[in-house]
Amino acid sequence: MTGNKGSMTTENGGPARRLRYAWLVAAQATLMILLGFFVTRVADGHWPLTLEDRLPRAFAEHRSPLGNGLSAGLSLMASTEGIVGVTLVCVAALLVLPRAPRWTEAGFLGASVAVQSAVFLLVTIFVERPRPEVPQLDGAPPTSSFPSGHVGASVALYGGLATLVLSRTRGPWRYLTAGVLLLVPPAVGLSRVYRGMHHPSDVAGGLLNGGATLLVMGLVFLYGRDRDRDSASERTPYGVPRGGAEEVPAQPGRLARTDGRPTGRRVVVVRHPHNCPDELAAQVRTRLGRHGFTDQRWTSTTVERPGGGLAEECAAGDVDLVVACGGDGTVRACADVVAGTGIPLALVPCGTGNLLARNLDLPADPATALEEALDGGDFGIDVGRVEGDGLPPTRFAVMTGAGFDAAMVRDASPALKARLGWVAYTLSAARHLRDPRMRLNIRLDGGRRIRRRARMVVIGNVGTLQGGLELLPRARPDSGRLEIVLFDPRGAAGWLAAATHLAARVVRRPAPAPTPGDPNGANGANGADVVAGGSLEYFSATRIEVRFARAQAREVDGDSMSEGALLTAGIEPGALRMRLPRAPGATALPHAPGHGSQTQHTQHTPHTAHH
């Protein structure tokens, strides 16, 4: 994990560096005390402070049971018990829920709440201000009215959470989440004035104290972490400073790393211009540079050329790494070019679904996913190949299909995708729930044709969708096989059975589904595994042909394709060499002595080994 190296540096240098920022907390406390003196001794009795108590008085005169209840709830959210409880839960969640504990983020949140409280208490020792002269709905604590502790604490906690959401997560939903969190402190402020506990200027003081705390703690923890990481990446895994360009051993074509492994130096970065913003592109550029990729060729994707100029760059030779900055469509286009060539592919997952990245268990943060992969190794994964009537042969890394999912992909509004991410697919799916069932026949590995009706056919190299939903539980990227599901819920009961079955797999994280044909598990004809009252039927094969009675919507790795009545799919075992933080279950590839035009075939784990 990158964090290991990063945290080693952080532990050595972090506390000392953080102490250097202690003067900022002292400055914050001094300024807050001076502000308190100004409010209580200089501005008191002068406009506009002469007007401010009209607000608590107006509230006191117009109190209602609803207002009392709402303000009590908001005040409770920002009470000592509320703040301590929510902070502890959030800190515990940051340490336990992610794959690696988020010490920096947990530290930022915990320290923000603690430092805000400490400064608040200090200020109230020096500044004495009486509460507003109105009936108060809460017992008045002995502390000064200036500043509002509830408001300061709510800024530190809910504002701190908003900061983490904005700085550590992706997707348009983060703005909505952060917006809701940022509404809490002003709402708490209003509730404190309503309840007669504070003057408006106390609330302003609380907002200021909380905001200043977040600024200082953000500087110490979040900005500080990036600096730690940057300086850590200046070093090899053994702490030896990395050579600058002029220190590189004169060895044409390849660099020697101090850990003895060879590292390529020419990288082609395929960038989806809408999914990979400039800021992320800059991070990718820097991280690649630090890992010795000094010769960077950047190419942008277009609708007509979803792989940009990758094919031409690879044809020119001497490409040591390809980086796909985009979603599954961009990855597919890159995989189509590099599969079978031995050129490794790394991902910067910044699309809508990013299903390959999810299935390979990459970090959600795109730059971190790249960083960890660059510190990892090369592994062979399978790719699928699909063609059909009017569908030229193309490779896929995730899934291809027809029917419901393809119509959903086709009709997802690009504007909604940009704003809501994968939620746009959900909205589109709702419009196709009542689409008619397809009549089809399916042929597996040259066997006899199986007739079926279904709403959707999905053929997958990997099987997990958003939210951990396992559409194809047996699918593994290194199995050497493709998994197929026919989805055919009938009536409300069928939909309910299918939804319950899929949801139960998310909740229980069950063992792999039985192998088709396994006497202990398969219960359908033709070696299929039938579940959820017949709503889901699973098959497994290396060659699949699906013929539809009528032309259907088709999709490949989330990209809509022309309608057609045929899908033929096969598997290329281990054909795609991927640079990953860790093995997805495949055998690590030895580094090729030279590549570019050379075909690398990988060892893949036999299918049976997984069952």
Ligand X SMILES: Nc1ncnc2c1ncn2[C@@H]1O[C@H](COP(=O)(O)OP(=O)(O)OP(=O)(O)O)[C@@H](O)[C@H]1O
Task: Give the per-residue contact string, 409-448, with ligand X (x = CB under 6 A; - = no).
Answer: --------x-------------------------------
In Å, what is the CA distance from 561 to each residue of 304, 410, 548, 569? 13, 8, 15, 15
What burial letters (b/e) apply to 243-277, b meaning 16+ CB within 10 Å?
eeeeeeeeeeebbebeeeebbbbbbbbbbbeebbe
Decide: 35 and 178 in contact? Cβ < 8 Å: no
For ligand X, which residue of 159, 292, 326, 340 counts as binding (CB under 6 A)? 326
- For residue 302, the minimal CB distance to ligand X (Å) is 5
Can you list the positions of beta strands (E) in 313-390?
321-326, 345-349, 377-388
- Residue 326 CB, nearest distance to ligand X (Å)? 3
User: Which one of the spans 8-16, 102-110, 322-330, 574-582 is the region binding ligand X (CB under 6 A)?
Assistant: 322-330
Stretches 35-43, 324-332, 474-482, 527-535: which one binds ligand X (CB under 6 A)? 324-332
Q: Which of 36, 206, 306, 340 touches ligand X (CB under 6 A)?
A: 306
CA distance 113 to 90: 12
Query: In the complex, what is the shortest distance from the CB of residue 307 to ligand X, in angstroms, rounded to a whole number?
Result: 9
CB closer to ligand X out of 186 and 273: 273
Cα–Cα distance for residue pair 285/500, rounded to 1 Å: 44
Query: Does residue number 562 form part of the binding site for ligand X (CB under 6 A)?
Result: no
Q: Cis link prior to 48 (omega < 30° from 0)?
A: yes
Q: In whole angstroms, how close is the CB of 611 to ligand X at the nearest point?
A: 29
Give the residue, chosen from 52, 228, 328, 478, that forms a contact with ligand X under the rule CB under 6 A.
328
Q: What's the min distance (Å) between Cβ of 10 and ligand X? A: 32
Shortest Cβ 286–ligand X spacing (Å): 22
Return d(Cα 15, Cα 27) in angstroms, integer. Answer: 19
User: Is residue 329 involved in binding ligand X (CB under 6 A)?
Assistant: yes
Our CB check for ligand X shows the closer of 6 and 306 to be 306
Instruction: Verify binding: residue 559, ligand X, rule CB under 6 A.
Output: yes
Query: Tokens at residue 135, please?
Result: 């009936």
- Residues 382-411: x/- map of binding to ligand X (CB under 6 A)? ------------------------------
Based on the shown chain and the rule CB under 6 A, indicate whether residue 327 belongs to the binding site for ligand X: yes
| Sign, CA torsion 410/413/414/419 | negative
550: how many CB neighbours lie within 10 A of its CB?
A: 10
Task: By CB under 6 A, tell whether 112 contacts ligand X.
Answer: no
As a whole number of angstroms, the distance between CA 529 and CA 401 comes to 19
Instruction: Tell me the DSSP string of 99-132.
Output: SS--HHHHHHHHHHHHHHHHHHHHHHHH---PPP
How many residues bind ligand X, per CB under 6 A? Answer: 20
**Separation between Cα atoms, residue 335 and residue 346, nearest integer Å:** 10
Q: Position 537: which residue type?
A: E
Of 213, 330, 515, 568, the one binding ligand X by CB under 6 A: 330
Report the nearest approach of ligand X to the CB of residue 410 (Å).
11
Cβ-in-10-Å burial (0-12, 13-18, 19+) of 491 comes to exposed
Give first-to-last CA distance, the chain, whole Å.
29
Of the candidate spans 73-81, 204-212, 295-303, 597-605, the one that interacts with ligand X by CB under 6 A turns out to be: 295-303
Find the part of the chain contacting ligand X (CB under 6 A) among 107-115, 302-310, 501-509, 583-591. Answer: 302-310
Choice from 17, 242, 274, 543 touching ligand X (CB under 6 A): 274
Ranges within 339-368 binding ligand X (CB under 6 A): 351-354
Q: Does 104 help bind ligand X (rule: CB under 6 A)?
A: no
Q: C-alpha dihedral over 229, 234, 238, 243, to 10 degrees?
A: 170
Q: From the CB of 556, what's the least distance to ligand X, in Å?
A: 10
Taking the CB of residue 510, how many other CB atoms lie within 10 A of it? 11
> Residue 371, interface with ligand X (CB under 6 A)?
no
Q: 69 or 414, CB closer to ligand X?
A: 414
Work out which of 172, 273, 524, 585 binds ligand X, going by CB under 6 A.
Answer: 273
Measured CA to CA, the distance from residue 155 to residue 258 in angstroms comes to 47
Residue matched to tokens 């390809």: 322
Q: Which two tokens stand for residue 253?
A: 């074509």
Cα–Cα distances in Å, from 553 out to 329, 385, 455? Answer: 17, 18, 11
Q: How far is the CB of 324 from ligand X (least distance, A)?
A: 8
Nearer to ligand X, 529 or 559 (CB): 559
Q: Which is nearer to ligand X, 124 or 354 (CB)?
A: 354
3 state DSSP class of 456: strand
**Single residue of 66, 250, 303, 492 touching ligand X by CB under 6 A:** 303
Q: Which of 275, 283, 464, 605 touches ligand X by CB under 6 A?
A: 275
* Cβ proximity to ligand X, 330 vs 605, nearer residue: 330
Residue closest to ligand X (Cβ): 327
Supply 84's token pair: 């301590």
CB-wise, 385 or 417, nearer to ligand X? Answer: 417
Identify the residue among 149, 477, 558, 596 touching ligand X (CB under 6 A).
558
Closest CA to 168 of 218, 220, 113: 218
Q: Which stretch binds ligand X (CB under 6 A): 129-137, 157-165, 186-194, 268-276?
A: 268-276
For residues 117-156, which are near ligand X according to CB under 6 A?
none
> What region, left, alpha or beta, does residue 37 occupy, with left being phi > 0 and alpha being psi -120 to 50 degrees?
alpha
Which residue number, 329 or 596, has a Cβ lying nearer to ligand X? Answer: 329
Q: Which of 301, 368, 428, 600 binds ligand X (CB under 6 A)?
A: 301
Per DSSP (E only), the strands in 327-398 are 345-349, 377-388, 391-396
* Smallest distance from ligand X to CB 172, Å: 12
Q: Least distance in Å: CB of 576 to ligand X?
A: 16
Residues that bind ligand X (CB under 6 A): 272-275, 301-303, 306, 326-330, 351-354, 417, 558-559
